[in-house]
Amino acid sequence: QQLGEDFDHQIRDRIPVILYDSHGDFSQTNVVPLPESAQGIGGVTDKYKNRMTQPFMGDYIDFRRTLHHELVHAFINDMYYGGSLQSIVQNNIQLQFPLWFEEGLAEYLALGWDTNTDMYMREAVLNNFLPPLQQLNGYYAYRRGQSFWFFVEQNYGRQKVTEILQSVQRTRNVERTLVQTLGLDMEELSDRWQDFLQRRYFPEVAQREPLTTLATQITDRDDFGSYNTSPQISPQGDKLAMISNRQGLFDVLWVDPRNGEKVKTLVSGEDNPMFEELNILNPNLSWSPDGQNILLSAKSGGNYSLVIVNVNTGKKTPVVLEELDAIRSVAWSPDGQKIAFDANQGPYQDIFVLDLESKKLRNVTRDVFSDMQPAWSADSESIYFVSDRGDVTDPGRFGAGSSILADMSVYQTDLYRLSLNSLNMTPITNTRLASETQPAITQDGDVYFISDANGIPNVWVLQAEAEEAKPVTNVESGIAQISVSKDGSRLALNGLNEGFLDIFVLRNPASRIRTEPLPDNLWAQERASMSADQRVAALGYTQTLIASRTQGNVVQSKILDEVAEAVSPSDSENGNEADDSSIDFRNYVFSPVVAQDSTLKLKDDPRKFEPENKETEDGYYQPKRYQLTFSPDFSYASGGINTYYGTSALATFSFSDLFGDHRVSISSNLVLDLRNSTYSIQYGYFKQRTNYFASFFHQAQNYQTFSGELLRFRTYGFGVEAQYPLNKFQRIDYGLTAIGISRDFSSLGGLTNSDLTNETSTFLYPQVVFTGDFTVPGFITPQGGSRYTLRASGSPPLGSETPQFVSLLG
């Protein structure tokens, strides 16, 4: 509803939303092709059929944001492109949105302004690497594009956003639209935008301290990558483990915390089956109490596991937990007997504890709230963790209300302490606006953590005997992750530094504890004056909807252990079927009067997007089984009649189902009749681990000899193929094709001097292909690594006239 107001547009068709219960399943989706490394992709909306596809990764705050973000893309596809690739081609739509324009809009409408984007933009401005709008690309196009729309609303009002989006529909050109709506060309607009940000952040310089003067920088550009994460200092403070992408792929490194000198590579990641992914988006390393082993979570063979690596011998011990959909942050207990971690199991993100001796796995916060980033108390009897549960300190309950958004802050998290014996939970922080993350505990019981209380993520500490937390740092940009040595003498952290994520070590952090409060930055002041629905207008509609459905019905219930199997409603409950004679007007262009009249009628027709599944008495929709239905992805056809060649036609059709598990493609180049034409039919089945293909093909080529005879060569046949992936990097392809070849000879007038005759031959062509691909992806070609293929094929002896051969390639 809010997007309809922002775009001043009503969607024409239902928008399919496809959800996966883990990122591991999402990364193997057939809906759209994803890159080999999809760790950083939280959702995607395709232009083929305008489908929203995303995983649930345990964090409801991020889940809501991603849904909203992808829905913006779906609105753009519907409004500007007709909702399908077919519409784009058929109507010759050439409108292209700059990445910063579209992705920035999606982020801004989903988030408004937020601490993370404020941190990225502040760091870019203060370090003088903020390029003009025209040059924004990559991940920074998201953050900086978001800041552009923030600039527009702050200077021109929210209605100007709608005006720009409507103008693009008329002009079909972004730059022309910005000139018409804002009165500025791209160069002038970019200067205004940069000036707006500089005025916002330059006053910060005198009040804050840069990371480079606060602590010792461990990572530099020559020896480390651009993304250095999960800094984990050993309990003794003499070792530092980290994840870095220096070679293009992410590895786990052991470095000296005094000077950053690399000691050894503990894990080579992303190029072998044991470490397909290293979970780089979350803090993902923990030391054993004696500092001789490092613990991490990894994805291997489609499953997530815990891996213990001996730093001296390199021995790797995996602990596979197939019952979990994903594992994120890990923590080894000080007594060495237990491992705590947060994991995604179905629709929930909870804290789990694994007993290393008995291998018993225990879920200690089994409820709907997103619990993450565990850290052990010094006595190994309690776990500190981050959660969005607010005042609900009884693990195992839904909480009040029928919707998670009715009881949770949309933006804010706090720290909690959970006793493993009693399961009593105690809030450690209770800030209304700020978020606390990353607890790290010393042997004396001091709790270090990150808080954005002043609008900037800084390190804070709650000392064992203190009643309130105190700030330790007052940085310019922000701090992302931390760890502390057992005695509290060294604190490892990472944060933005000239556009890179670098790692630093701070000595004696307790000596830097501040008694005075940190001054709020401009964002903290703005945040204090806004409600959640003022930051993201759609939340106001959400709260109203929830209130109307839950009024007088407070439900407190234990989470169900199993989800009941979905039963398809009877045919009588499926609603009325659409009239086959109806006309689809989505690709037509109407006058403004007709468009306005249609919009008014749409608003007056509440049945347009009514759910087809009936509601139950408690207000939930009945699930329906998926039914295989094909719809066109792309179709093209042309034909003609020629007085010399006769009739001809060229056609291409592509069909698939909603999930992309079944695909059919038909192509033809028809000339005269089927024997003179080229055509093929292909079918692919991608639902299981093994991909299956079937195809029929016919190719015809006509020639004329120097003496006037006509020759027609035809190749035709039927083939089947199967692709079986051994792991992410290796696969085996099996194929069998029955091939027929023929030569047809004819002469003009029946007279010829040639001894050519008609000939036909058929044979089988089996092949087996083994492929290994360990390359580092690049923009055009691989940046490094290796790739190889071994192929065996041939034709078995099935008759005296059957061609016989064997081919080995490698």
Range of the domain at 330: 211-528
CB neighbours of residue 219 within 10 Å: 25
Instruction: Looking at the structure, tell me whether residues 98 and 23 fall in a common domain.
Output: yes
What is the tally of helices (H) and strands (E) in the chain?
15, 37
In a domain, residue 581? The reply is no
Mean pLDDT of the 341-368 span: 92
Within 8 A by CB and 6+ apart from 701, the residues are: 712, 713, 714
Closest CA to 25 of 370, 271, 342, 325: 325
Instruction: Looking at the structure, tell me whether residues 129 and 201 fall in a common domain.
Output: yes
**CA distances for 93 relative to 76, 88, 89, 96, 606, angstroms:** 13, 5, 7, 9, 31
Instruction: Looking at the structure, tell me whether residues 139 and 24 fall in a common domain.
Output: yes
In a domain, residue 570? The reply is no
Tokens standing for residue 245: 């992408």
Query: Any idea which of 233-237, 314-318, 370-374, 746-750 has the lowest mean pLDDT?
Result: 746-750
Per residue in 512-529, pLDDT tens? 999 999 999 999 999 999
* CATH code (residue 804): 2.40.160.50
In this predicted structure, the answer to whether residue 761 has a pLDDT above a threshold of 70 is: yes
In this predicted structure, the answer to whether residue 587 has a pLDDT above a threshold of 60 is: no
Within 8 A by CB and 6+ apart from 388, the residues are: 60, 61, 369, 370, 408, 409, 412, 413, 414
Look at 473 and 409; give whichever has higher pLDDT.
473
Per residue in 632-650, pLDDT tens? 998 888 888 877 666 778 8
Closest CA to 546 of 611, 608, 609, 619: 619
In a domain, residue 443? The reply is yes
> What is the rounded distance in angstroms from the CA atom of residue 688 to the CA atom of residue 629?
18
Last residue of some domain: 464, 497, 528? 528
CA dihedral 368, 369, 374, 378 (to 10 degrees): -100
Amino acid at 406: A
> What is the rounded distance in angstroms from the CA atom of residue 792 to the CA atom of residue 498?
52
Q: What is the pLDDT of residue 591?
A: 37
Closest CA to 501 of 246, 755, 164: 246
Instruction: Looking at the structure, tell me whether residues 655 and 792 fall in a common domain.
Output: yes
pLDDT exceeding 70 applies to what percent of the chain? 87
Look at 117 and 582; give whichever has higher pLDDT.
117
> What is the rounded distance in angstroms from the CA atom of residue 384 to the CA atom of residue 403?
26
Instruction: Looking at the structure, tell me whether residues 187 and 221 fall in a common domain.
Output: no
| DSSP label at residue 573 | G
Instruction: Looking at the structure, tell me whether residues 66 and 145 fall in a common domain.
Output: yes
611 pLDDT band, cuts 50/70/90, is low
Tokens standing for residue 308: 């213990």
| DSSP label at residue 578 | P
760 pLDDT band, cuts 50/70/90, is confident
Instruction: Looking at the structure, tell me whether residues 234 and 143 fall in a common domain.
Output: no
Q: What is the pLDDT of residue 420?
A: 96
Mean pLDDT of the 200-229 span: 91
Segments in 38-114 forming alpha helices (H): 60-81, 85-90, 99-111
Helix (H) or strand (E) run with residue 759 in it: strand 759-773
Mean pLDDT of the 675-703 span: 93
In a domain, residue 27? The reply is yes
Look at 123 and 246; give whichever has higher pLDDT.
123
| DSSP label at residue 475 | B
Instruction: Looking at the structure, tell me whether residues 192 and 225 fall in a common domain.
Output: no
* Residues forming a β-bridge with 381: none
Direct distance between the N- and C-terminal alpha carbons of the chain, in angstroms, rounded to an integer: 58
Per residue in 403-461, pLDDT tens? 555 545 567 899 999 999 999 999 999 998 899 999 999 999 999 999 999 999 999 99
Within 8 A by CB and 6+ apart from 403, the residues are: 546, 549, 550
Q: What is the pLDDT of residue 608?
A: 54
Cβ(446)–Cβ(488) below 8 Å: yes
Q: What is the pLDDT of residue 59?
A: 83
CB neighbours of residue 710 within 10 Å: 13
In a domain, residue 585? The reply is no
> What is the rounded distance in angstroms from the CA atom of residue 36 to the CA atom of residue 117?
27
Closest CA to 393 of 410, 411, 416: 416
Q: What is the pLDDT of residue 709?
A: 77
Burial 430-439 (b: 16+ CB within 10 A, else e): eeeebbbbbb
In a domain, residue 615? The reply is no
Per residue in 161-173, pLDDT tens? 999 999 999 999 9
Last residue of some domain: 190, 207, 224? 207
* CATH code (residue 328): 2.120.10.30
CB neighbours of residue 1 within 10 Å: 12
In this predicted structure, the answer to whether residue 68 has a pLDDT above a threshold of 80 is: yes
Q: What is the mean pLDDT of the chain?
A: 86
Instruction: Looking at the structure, tell me whether residues 717 and 788 fall in a common domain.
Output: yes
Tokens standing for residue 609: 């997007």
Q: What is the pLDDT of residue 751?
A: 57
Instruction: Looking at the structure, tell me whether residues 159 and 295 fall in a common domain.
Output: no
Last residue of some domain: 528, 555, 570? 528
In a domain, residue 544? The reply is no
Instruction: Looking at the structure, tell me whether residues 515 and 647 fall in a common domain.
Output: no
795 pLDDT band, cuts 50/70/90, is very high
Cβ(459)–Cβ(491) below 8 Å: yes
Domain count, the chain: 3
Q: What is the pLDDT of residue 583?
A: 39
> What is the rounded distance in angstroms from the CA atom of residue 72 to the CA atom of residue 5?
12
Instruction: Looking at the structure, tell me whether residues 447 and 337 fall in a common domain.
Output: yes
The pTM of the full predicted model, rounded to 2 decimals, is: 0.87
Residue found under tokens 């079909």: 172
343 pLDDT band, cuts 50/70/90, is very high
In a domain, residue 575? The reply is no
